[in-house]
């Protein structure tokens, strides 16, 4: 490994070296990596650290830089990025706020306020309803088929999307900060604007989208009618299905169902969701969707075809 390659590796560990530090040999590299390993395996979580790590402006600027770096990041540097866990029990007992994820409250309602990116997990920045706090959110095993360099992440995790994240937990990052992490994609749900209004009628997001991402229109502000929303959500689901991002497809189809105006549109979505299930060999659930479609339209060819594949 050349000196330049070692210095390139160390750019992933900025918290563990002075800004003027360079690595001149393998021994120095190993020593620096050992220090980083110690930092992420035995993190120290303090109220000041949490305050810093919920600074929305800091995370937004960091995400802008992160996106730019990921566009040119080499496969070599991707493979050595490491993260470690910080359990919820490590947080100060008297810490309070929307990002307080105690044993009794393992549920996070948030909105994405930055363009997403990917090296290993899908990463973005989310805010609480008040809009004063922000937090990095790392979703592992989420949309594993997408590519960090070629995927349009507005078609994976759109800006302005409402999320319900169950059982997230704090982790320390390789840079020494904190982020929220969720490993199970089944514990991440999109929430439609309609569902948000139904469940939380008095809740509104008043904070504007941060300046670096204001060129992107928040997802639910792009369309004025339910039919516009239905068509766009179905289109996003179809794009994801063609790209073999089947879990993404099902998320968008599920939202589209909420905005369907009649039985014809419902049948289309039931048929599409059955196709997603068949792609994953989930034959039982595929049968459920086709039967729901056939209850509304007994002659629908796609539902009949997929129903007979079992």
In CATH, what number is assigned to the domain containing residue 308?
1.25.40.10
Cut 0.95: pTM above it:
no
Mean pLDDT of the chain: 77
Percent of the chain at pLDDT exceeding 70: 69
Whole-angstrom distance, CA of residue 38 vs CA of residue 283:
46
- Check pLDDT > 60 for residue 129: yes
Question: Is 157:28 a contact under the CB 8 Å cutoff?
Answer: no
Average of per-residue pLDDT across 49-76: 69
Q: Which of 192, 220, 248 is the last residue of a domain?
A: 220
**Tokens at residue 114, please?**
């930055």
Tens digits of per-residue pLDDT, 75-110? 433 333 333 333 333 333 333 333 444 444 467 889
Nearest to 113 by CA among 71, 56, 179, 188: 56
Residues 186 and 283 in one domain: no
Residues 36 and 82 in one domain: no
pLDDT of residue 251: 94
**Tokens at residue 281, please?**
């060999």
| 167 or 310, greater pLDDT | 167
Q: Which of 164, 191, 220 is the last residue of a domain?
A: 220
pLDDT of residue 82: 31
Residues 195 and 310 in one domain: no
Residues 61 and 190 in one domain: yes
The structural domain count of the chain equals 3
- Check pLDDT > 60 for residue 1: no
Tens digits of per-residue pLDDT, 170-203? 777 655 567 888 888 988 999 999 999 998 888 8
Q: Which of 167, 188, 220 is the last residue of a domain?
A: 220
Residues 174 and 308 in one domain: no
> Where do runs of H (alpha helix) occur along the chain?
3-10, 26-41, 47-53, 56-70, 75-79, 193-199, 226-242, 246-258, 263-279, 283-296, 301-308
Q: Residue 142, Cα to own-chain centre: how many angstroms?
A: 7
pLDDT of residue 71: 62
What angle do helix axes 3-10 and 26-41 make, rounded to 10 degrees?
10
Residue 6 is part of which domain span?
1-42
Residues 176 and 117 in one domain: yes
pLDDT of residue 274: 92
- Check pLDDT > 80 for residue 310: no
Residues 152 and 258 in one domain: no
Residues 7 and 142 in one domain: no
- Check pLDDT > 60 for residue 43: no
Residues 103 and 55 in one domain: yes
pLDDT tier at 60, thresholds 50, 70, 90: confident
Residues 271 and 209 in one domain: no
Residues 197 and 123 in one domain: yes
| 249 or 167, greater pLDDT | 249
Question: Is 46:177 a contact under the CB 8 Å cutoff?
Answer: no
Tens digits of per-residue pLDDT, 11-39? 443 333 333 345 566 776 677 666 656 65
Average of per-residue pLDDT across 129-135: 85
Tens digits of per-residue pLDDT, 228-274? 999 999 999 999 999 999 999 999 999 999 999 999 999 999 999 99
Residues 1 and 53 in one domain: no
Vertex 297 angle, CA 292 and 301, to 5°: 95
Q: How far apart are the first and last CA of the chain?
A: 54
pLDDT of residue 78: 36
65: domain CATH number is 2.40.50.140
Q: Is 38 left (phi over 0), alpha (psi -120 to 50) or beta?
A: alpha
- Check pLDDT > 90 for residue 63: no
Residue 125: enclosing H or E segment and its boundaries? strand 122-127
pLDDT of residue 151: 86
């Amino acid at each position: 490994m050349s000196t330049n390659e070692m210095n390139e590796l160390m750019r992933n560990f900025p918290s563990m070296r002075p800004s003027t530090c360079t690595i001149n040999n393998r021994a120095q590299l190993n020593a620096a990596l050992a220090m980083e390993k110690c930092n992420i395996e035995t993190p120290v979580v303090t109220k000041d650290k949490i305050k810093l790590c919920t600074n929305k402006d800091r995370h937004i600027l960091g995400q802008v830089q992160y996106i730019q770096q990921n566009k040119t990041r080499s496969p070599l540097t991707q493979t050595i990025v490491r993260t470690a866990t910080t359990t919820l029990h490590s947080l100060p007992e008297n810490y309070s706020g929307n990002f307080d994820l105690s044993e009794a409250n393992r549920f996070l309602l948030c909105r994405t306020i930055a363009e997403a990116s990917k090296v290993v997990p899908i990463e973005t920045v989310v805010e609480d309803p008040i809009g004063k706090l922000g937090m990095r959110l790392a979703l592992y095993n989420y949309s594993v088929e997408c590519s960090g360099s070629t995927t349009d992440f507005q078609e994976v995790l759109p800006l302005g999307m409402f999320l319900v994240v169950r059982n997230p937990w704090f982790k320390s990052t390789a840079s020494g900060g904190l982020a929220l992490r969720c490993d199970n994609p089944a514990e991440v749900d999109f929430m439609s604007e309609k569902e948000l209004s139904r469940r939380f009628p008095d809740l509104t997001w008043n904070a504007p989208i941060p300046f670096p991402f204001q060129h992107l229109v928040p997802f639910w502000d792009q369309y004025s009618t339910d039919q516009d929303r239905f068509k766009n959500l179905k289109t996003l689901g179809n794009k994801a299905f063609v790209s073999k991002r089947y879990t993404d497809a099902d998320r968008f189809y599920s939202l589209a169902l909420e905005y369907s105006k009649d039985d014809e549109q419902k049948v289309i979505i039931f048929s599409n969701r059955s196709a997603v299930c068949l792609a994953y060999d989930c034959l039982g659930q595929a049968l459920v969707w086709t039967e729901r479609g056939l209850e509304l339209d007994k002659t629908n060819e796609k539902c009949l075809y997929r129903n007979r594949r079992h």
